[in-house]
Amino acid sequence: MSTIVNWIGGAATMAAATLLSSAAFAATEIQWWHAMGGELGAKLEEIVAGYNASQDEYKVVPVYKGTYPETMTAAITAFRAGEQPAIVQVFEVGTGTMMAARGAVYPVYQLMKDAGADFDQKAFLPAVVGYYTDTDGNMLSMPFNSSTPILYYNKDVFEKAGLDPEKAPETWSDVEEFSKKIIDSGAAKCGFTTGWISWVQLENLSAWHNQSIGTLENGFGGLDTELTFDGPVQERHWENLKKWQDSGVFEYGGPVGGNDAAPKFYSQECAIYMNSSASRAGVMANAKGFEVGFGMLPYYADVDGAPQNSIIGGATLWVLKGREEAEYKGVAEFFSYLSSPEVQADWHQFSGYLPITEAAYELGKEQGYYAKNPGTDVGIKQITLNPPTANSKGLRFGNYVQIRNIIDEEFQALLSGQKTAREALQSLDQRGNELIREFQAANS
C-alpha cells in the first residue's frame, strides 16, 4: 500500500516538476556528448541530474554518442557543420588532436578565468593534470575519468599452486616464476593475460621504468617530436612476451582493449590479469567462485629508476568554441560542481576511475572506503609513487589513434613470428613517425 502511495506521490511531484520547469523561464541548455555506456552512463546521468536539480539557470543535457572514437568523430564533424556541443568527452589518445585545434577548443583554464569561477588547478592530482596541460602548465581540458593499469590476480589459483595468496607478484621475474608454478601444478592453464597491449605493455611499461618513448619529452615539447619506442627495456619486454606466449605463460587477449583477455581471467584460465583500475567493477562482478587480489604493475628489478610511476588513460572533457556566451558560464559552473570532492569521490568509488583531486581522495580515506574495499587505492598509489619525470608525465603525439593501431599490428607480427621484438619496435617508430610528420604538416 505504502509503495503505491509513494509511487503516486512520486509521479505527482514529477508532473509538478515538469510543469514548473516548462512554466519557469527557459533554462540555458548545455549539451554534453559522452562515451559512457551501460552502468557508467547511468551514473553519469545521475550526476548530471544532481547538478540540474541543484540550480535552475542551466540544464546540462548528456548525450551518449557511442565509443570514444565515435564520440570524438561526431563532435569534430558537428564542429565542421557549426552544430557542436559545448562539452565533449575525448579519450587520452585524442589529446594531441584536440590540443592542436586552437581555433576550436576553449581551454578550460581560460574558461574558468573568463567566467570568474572559483578554480584552483593545484587542487588536482599532478599525475592526472600533467597529461592535459600546455607547455606553460595551463590546464586545457577538464579531467573526468582517468584510470591507470593495475594487476589483478586469482587468489584461489595462487593457493592451489602453493603460492602465498596474499602476495601479488612484484617484478616480472615473479610473474614468470609464479606463472610456471601455476601451470606446472595444474592450478590454471596460463599465467597471465592483459588488456591494452599499447597502453599497458608499452606506454605504461616505459613510464614505469622511466624510459622515453618520444623526443621532446614524449611529444609535450612540440609537434617536431619523434618516437623512440625501440629502447632496450621495451625490446627486452616484448621479446619476453613473445617467449612467454610460446611457452604458455602469457596469452594474448586481442588488439585495442583486448576483448578476449577478461574472459580468460574470469573463467580462471589465466591466473593474472593486467588492465585498467576502472575494470575493477567488472572484475568484481564477474569473478565468480574465486577471490581477487590486487597489485601494482610488475617491473624489471635490475632497471635503474624502476618503479617510477604509471601514467593515466581515460578521458577528459573539452569545451568547444562557437556556442553562446551564456552557455560557457554554465559550463564553468558545472565543471566546479563536477570537481567537488563529494561528486568526485562518489564517481571514483562507483567506477574505479581515479579521484582527480586531492580532496576527493582525502574524503574517501575519511569515509574509510579504502580500508573497506581493498585494492581500490592501488591505482592512485601507483601514479603518485614518485614525482613524474619527463618520461612518465604521459605522452602527446598527433595522429596517435592510428599509432595505437600500429602498435597492435606490430605486436601481432611479433607474436606470429614475422618479426623480432627489435624489428617490430623499429618498424613501429618508423611508421609512427610518418604519421606524426603528416600531422605536423596539416597543423602548422
Partner 1 sequence: MQTKRAIFASRVLPYWLLAPQLAVTLVFFLWPAAQAVRQSFLREDAFGLKTSFVWLENYTRLFHDPNYLNSLKVTVVFAASVTLLSVALGLLFALAVDRMIASSRLYTTLLVWPYAVAPAVAGVLWWFMFNPTLGVIPYVLEGLGYDWNHLLSPTDAMILVVAASTWKQISYNFLFFVAGLQAIPRALGEAAAIDGAGPVKRFFSITFPLLSPTTFFLMVVNTVYAMFDTFPVIHATTEGNPAQSTNILVYKVYVDGFLGLNLGSSAAQSVVLMAIVIALTVIQFRYIERRVEY
For partner 1, the binding residues (CB under 8 A) are 69, 73, 76, 79-80, 97, 100-104, 252, 254-256, 260, 263-264, 267, 269, 399, 401-402, 405, 408-410, 412-413, 415-416, 418, 438, 441-443
Cα-Cα end-to-end distance for the chain: 69
Comparing C-alpha atoms, which of 362, 367, 436, 443 is closest to residue 398?
A: 436
Q: How far is the CB of 416 from partner 1 (least distance, A)?
A: 5
Nearer of residues 69 and 231 to partner 1, judged by Cβ? 69
Q: How far is the CB of 412 from partner 1 (least distance, A)?
A: 4
Three cell numbers written together for 234 = 621495451
Q: How far is the CB of 273 from partner 1 (least distance, A)?
A: 13
Q: How far is the CB of 103 from partner 1 (least distance, A)?
A: 5
Nearer of residues 189 and 381 to partner 1, judged by Cβ? 189
Q: How far is the CB of 442 from partner 1 (least distance, A)?
A: 5
CA distance 335 to 328: 10
Nearer of residues 415 and 421 to partner 1, judged by Cβ? 415
Q: How far is the CB of 257 from partner 1 (least distance, A)?
A: 12
Q: Could you tell me the strand order of the sheet in which 292-295 lies?
A: 250-251, 190-194, 270-276, 149-154, 292-295
Exposed, middle or buried: residue 167 (CB in 10 Å: 0-12, 13-18, 19+)?
A: middle
Q: For residue 90, give the amino acid letter.
A: V
CA distance 148 to 269: 24
Nearer of residues 215 and 405 to partner 1, judged by Cβ? 405
Nearer of residues 230 and 346 to partner 1, judged by Cβ? 230
Q: How far is the CB of 186 from partner 1 (least distance, A)?
A: 18
Comparing C-alpha atoms, which of 298, 309, 313, 301 is closest to residue 387?
A: 309
Exposed, middle or buried: residue 358 (CB in 10 Å: 0-12, 13-18, 19+)?
A: middle
Nearer of residues 79 and 131 to partner 1, judged by Cβ? 79
Which of helix, strand or coil describes residue 404?
Answer: helix
Q: How far is the CB of 100 from partner 1 (least distance, A)?
A: 7
DSSP letter for 385, please: S
Q: How far is the CB of 62 from partner 1 (least distance, A)?
A: 23
CA distance 201 to 324: 44
Q: How far is the CB of 301 from partner 1 (least distance, A)?
A: 30
Q: How far is the CB of 261 from partner 1 (least distance, A)?
A: 9
Nearer of residues 137 and 263 to partner 1, judged by Cβ? 263
Nearer of residues 18 and 77 to partner 1, judged by Cβ? 77
Residues 6+ apart with CB under 8 A from 88: 32, 33, 34, 71, 72, 75, 317, 318, 320
Nearer of residues 185 and 430 to partner 1, judged by Cβ? 430
Number of Cβ within 10 Å of residue 69's Cβ equals 15
CA distance 110 to 102: 13
Residue 363: alpha-carbon gap to chain centroid: 22
Nearer of residues 97 and 212 to partner 1, judged by Cβ? 97
Q: How far is the CB of 93 from partner 1 (least distance, A)?
A: 11
Residues 6+ apart with CB under 8 A from 122: none
DSSP letter for 123, please: G
SS3 string of 268-312? CCEEEEEEEHHHHHHHHHHCCCCCEEEECCCECCCCCCCCCCCCC
Nearer of residues 360 and 436 to partner 1, judged by Cβ? 436
Strands 250-251 and 190-194: parallel
User: Are 195 and 391 spatial neighbours (Cβ–Cβ below 8 Å)?
Assistant: no
Residues 6+ apart with CB under 8 A from 6: none
Nearer of residues 342 and 438 to partner 1, judged by Cβ? 438
